[in-house]
Amino acid sequence: KNFYVQLKRNNQDSTFNVQFLVDAFTSDKIKKVKVDTSATTPWIIKANTIILTHGRFNLADSISGLNMALSIGGIEAELNKLNLEKSIADIGNVNLSDVHGIIRNTKTSPIDTTSNSNSWNGVELSQLNIKRSSFNYSDASTDMLVAIIVGELELKSSTLDLHTRKIRSNGLSIYQSSGLINLTKSTAIASLDTITNADSIGPGWNLQLKTFNVKQSAFKLNILNEDKIKKGIDWNHLALT
């Protein structure tokens, strides 16, 4: 409650401002203890309830160009099981209220096509509820902007399988919310090329959604460097309500 976390890294220093804490716990002066690992069991982490209220988290990384500001009114989550050896997470109910996040990227980052999605196998979520929250992402190098305002969102029991690239959910409901995506044509084409390039990312994602409900919500998509047309469907400038 009432917490504040700030991470910084500038161009003159390759480490974050909390590196001294990491060094303190990994110092060579710490006496090493021999541990018998012949009959150990894998770590399994559980938490009945995790509650964060009235906090802020800021990240300013001049080297990567990533800047993040997160304001938390309330987060309550259940962690049923986290198996680090099998890379499986079983998450219970997650409730977010009055959470507002801003992410800004000021530098061009190459797309990582070498990562193995099998490094994390699956995530199960009982239910996610978001109320009175907003999220904003902008990329100065590509003029991309994604802005989401959530009045109320409910995601029912869901499973994310990164190994088979499948997302299954019993339902998604969105109320009194809005979304805006601004792109340039070059960015949109680059994103589509990445999605359709089987050599770089493998098979596509499979999304299975039993129910999808939207009420009193709006969505807009703009390709900024394309002119609006006067007649017909303008796929470069969409507005759905």
d(CA 232, CA 210): 32
pLDDT in tens, 154-197: 999 999 887 777 889 999 999 999 999 998 866 555 554 554 45
Give me the DSSP letters along 95-138. Answer: EEEEEEEEEEE-S---------GGGS-EEEEEEEEEEEEEEEEE
Residue tagged 């002066």 (tokens): 29
CB neighbourhood size of 100 (10 A): 16
Q: What pLDDT sits at residue 101?
A: 95
Tokens of 228: 């609006």
Cβ atoms of 82 and 45 closer than 8 Å: yes
pLDDT digits (tens, 9 = 90+) for 50-72: 899 999 999 888 888 889 999 99
Q: Residue 36: what pLDDT?
A: 58
Counts for the chain of helices (H) and strands (E), in that order: 3, 14
Q: Which region among 2-6, 121-125, 154-158, 192-196 has the lowest average model confidence (pLDDT)?
A: 192-196
Q: How confident is the model at residue 153 (pLDDT cuts 50, 70, 90)?
A: very high
Q: 85 or 108: which carries more pLDDT confidence?
A: 85
Give the span between the Cα atoms of 179 and 68, in whole angstroms.
Answer: 19
**Rounded-to-integer distance, Cα 96 and Cα 126, Å:** 14
Report the range of poorest mean pLDDT among 1-5, 34-38, 172-176, 193-197. 193-197
In this prediction, residue 219 has a pLDDT band, given cuts at 50, 70 and 90, of: very high
Output the six-digit token pair for 221. Answer: 């998509």
